[in-house]
Amino acid sequence: MIDVLIVGAGPNGLMLAAELALAGVRPVVCDRLAAPTTENRANGLVGQVVRMLDRRGLHQRLTGDTAPPRPAPEFVFGALPLDLRGVADNPLHGLPVPQRQIERVLADRAAELGVPIRRGCEVTGLRQRADAVEVRFADGTTVTCRYLVGADGGRSTVRKLAGIAFPGVTTDRSVSRTAQVAVPAEAIDPVTGGLAVPGHRVVGPFRHTRTERGLIVWAPFPDRPPLVSTTEWPDAPGPDAPMTLAEMRASVARVLGVEVPLDPPAGTGPHVLRRLVGGNTRLAERYRDGRVLLLGDAAHVHSAIGGPGLNLGLQDAVNLGWKLAAEVRGRAPDGLLDTYEAERRPAARRVTVSTQAQTALIAPGSEVTALRELVGELLARPENAAHVAALMAGADVRYDPGPDGPPVGTWAPDLVVHGDAGPVRLAELTRDARPLLLDGTGTLGPAAAPWRDRVDVIGGRLAGTSSTALLLRPDCYLAWASADDAPDSDGLRAALTRWFGPPRT
């Protein structure tokens, strides 16, 4: 019997597979496609997931750079500038890496950990038993697994077969077009790299530029053809025929009020050329039905504005991985697996608030223009910019704070442990996804000893935090913290029991 069958070999499913493997469970990943898709659905990562990948040793693989992630000095919210240079402890990180590369790195990592990936396997049925799930494929074969995870996208077959409702709203007013293009050298602003449009101000790189007629984004990626994208709100959605470059040129001309020379990109491709009519904002009624769980887009869909999709889905995977592994291995305290939905569904709701608000801010109309002027004034204040940056990064997520108050339930800071072997970044201590007790007092070893089979204890001076001791869950959220030189051992033992099970006898 398979311990965990993950349906969907996209980034979220692959990340979950790696997390489970690190925790001692051997999952199987299956996907209906015979080969990885060549389509680039996302152009990078934005938010706290960038630091999470660093804490699993994957940031360097994606960037080729040994330096830790650096926060973005500026960003956009609803096509309004978001200046983050005055924000202390800026949480908003970006990583401009195409989704195909992200999938390759995660697939390689899963393979290193011994995870089999089976392709050309389309799920057509499932039946839950008290102790397992029977899964049927299109070719008539069946497998039995202890748990089934649907990471198979917004049209999730697993979600539908499990009978989980997907309420929300569907809109058909907007039409978005995206294409990889080539432009003449004289159309590129030599200072900013933006798109120099005659009779129009420069369309800045990697920024949403709104006009009264629509929205345009110019993205000159350094390692692949530049990308241009528009959003319009026409009276009719337009043709059902395949998207063309001529259609892209016409859309840009309508949005900017002037024609821009757009040519086919160099190289053999495949190159992005797509049209999307309308959009969905939906949130699964529940994330779990017995032994079936949902992950990523199978649990939530929303606008791509601000780039929150992979940030949300990959953090779902990291949250679920250690909890599901503990359940499979018989080490989970009562109710642990249910905290996946309790913690991550509100996080998804928070993202939908952000994306719907931004969608409202980019719509046409003089009343929206007036609203943008006011919101722009608010975003110019550093305290408001910090609030919005935390929202977009997912850094404002706060799980159950527990009885001890702050900072329990928050993301562990990027601290440094100064031990006998010298200074070590926290990101270097979390790569095997085990719970960590960081003991800056040197007094907590005896209290934690009965959990040493599940929790690693690291001693040394803690730099970058006011706490003297921290207990980290595998997803790098704090389960317990102390600012005292003589920490409360009873509180530590209670937190260890709550999250990692009873002490070993």
Strand partners, 127: 134
If one counts the domains in the chain, the total is 3
How large a percentage of the chain has pLDDT more than 90? 79
Across 332-354, average pLDDT: 96
**Cis upstream peptide for 270 (omega within 30°):** yes
| Same domain (yes/no): 159, 178 | no
| 184 within a domain of the structure (yes/no) | yes
pLDDT digits (tens, 9 = 90+) for 158-198: 999 999 999 999 887 789 999 999 999 888 999 899 999 88
| 350 within a domain of the structure (yes/no) | yes
| Same domain (yes/no): 481, 428 | yes
| Same domain (yes/no): 239, 185 | yes
> What are phi and psi for residue 297, nearest 5 degrees?
-65, -20
What CATH code is carried by the domain that includes residue 252? Answer: 3.30.70.2450
**Token pair for 75:** 């960003």
Residue 106's pLDDT band, with cuts at 50, 70 and 90, is very high
> What are phi and psi for residue 123, nearest 5 degrees?
-75, 130
| Same domain (yes/no): 12, 132 | yes
What CATH code is carried by the domain that includes residue 482? Answer: 3.40.30.120
| Same domain (yes/no): 12, 143 | yes
Across 72-80, average pLDDT: 93
Average pLDDT, the chain: 93
Nearest-angstrom CA–CA distance, 236 and 46: 33
| Same domain (yes/no): 20, 145 | yes
| Residue/partner pairs of 246-250 with CB below 8 Å, 24 or more apart | 247/177, 247/275, 248/177, 248/179, 248/181, 248/273
End position of a domain, from candidates 239, 254, 279: 279
**Token pair for 160:** 């539908």
How large a percentage of the chain has pLDDT more than 70? 98
Task: Write out the residue range of the structural domain in which residue 148 sits.
Answer: 2-43+98-166+284-362
Residue 235 is predicted with a pLDDT of 73
Residue 405 is predicted with a pLDDT of 61
| 479 within a domain of the structure (yes/no) | yes
| 82 within a domain of the structure (yes/no) | no
pLDDT digits (tens, 9 = 90+) for 391-449: 999 999 899 766 556 678 999 999 999 998 899 999 999 999 999 999 999 999 999 99
- Which residues, at least 6 apart from 310, have a Cβ–Cβ distance to it below 8 Å? 11, 12, 42, 45, 49, 99, 102
| Same domain (yes/no): 343, 291 | yes
- Which residues, at least 6 apart from 247, have a Cβ–Cβ distance to it below 8 Å? 177, 238, 239, 275
Nearest-angstrom CA–CA distance, 270 and 66: 30
End position of a domain, from candidates 255, 279, 303: 279
- Alpha helices (runs of H) in 92-208, residue ranges in sequence order: 99-112, 157-162
| 386 within a domain of the structure (yes/no) | no
| Same domain (yes/no): 6, 122 | yes
Residue 406 is predicted with a pLDDT of 61
| 196 within a domain of the structure (yes/no) | yes
Q: Reduce the DSSP state of residue 165 to 3 states and report it.
A: coil
Residue 255's pLDDT band, with cuts at 50, 70 and 90, is very high
Residue found under tokens 């929205």: 215
Of the candidates 342, 470, 358, 467, the residue with the CA atom closest to the CA atom of residue 398 = 342
Of the candidates 1, 39, 2, the residue with the CA atom closest to the CA atom of residue 17 = 2
| 267 within a domain of the structure (yes/no) | yes
| Same domain (yes/no): 152, 293 | yes
Residue 240's pLDDT band, with cuts at 50, 70 and 90, is confident
Strands 300-301 and 117-119, bridge-based pairing:
unpaired
pLDDT digits (tens, 9 = 90+) for 130-140: 999 999 999 99
What CATH code is carried by the domain that includes residue 356? Answer: 3.50.50.60
End position of a domain, from candidates 219, 249, 279: 279
| 377 within a domain of the structure (yes/no) | no
Across 46-75, average pLDDT: 94
pTM recorded for the entire structure? 0.93
Burial call 86-112: b when 16+ CB within 10 Å, e when fewer = ebeebbbbbbebbbbebbebbbebbee
| Same domain (yes/no): 221, 327 | no
| Same domain (yes/no): 18, 149 | yes
- Which residues, at least 6 apart from 180, have a Cβ–Cβ distance to it below 8 Å? 224, 225, 226, 227, 265, 271, 272, 273
Give the residue, 309 or 160, on which the prediction is more confident. 160
Residue 8 is predicted with a pLDDT of 97
Across 477-500, average pLDDT: 94
Residue 41 is predicted with a pLDDT of 72
| Same domain (yes/no): 178, 244 | yes
Pick the range with the lowest mean pLDDT from 36-45, 97-106, 460-469. Answer: 36-45
Across 322-350, average pLDDT: 96
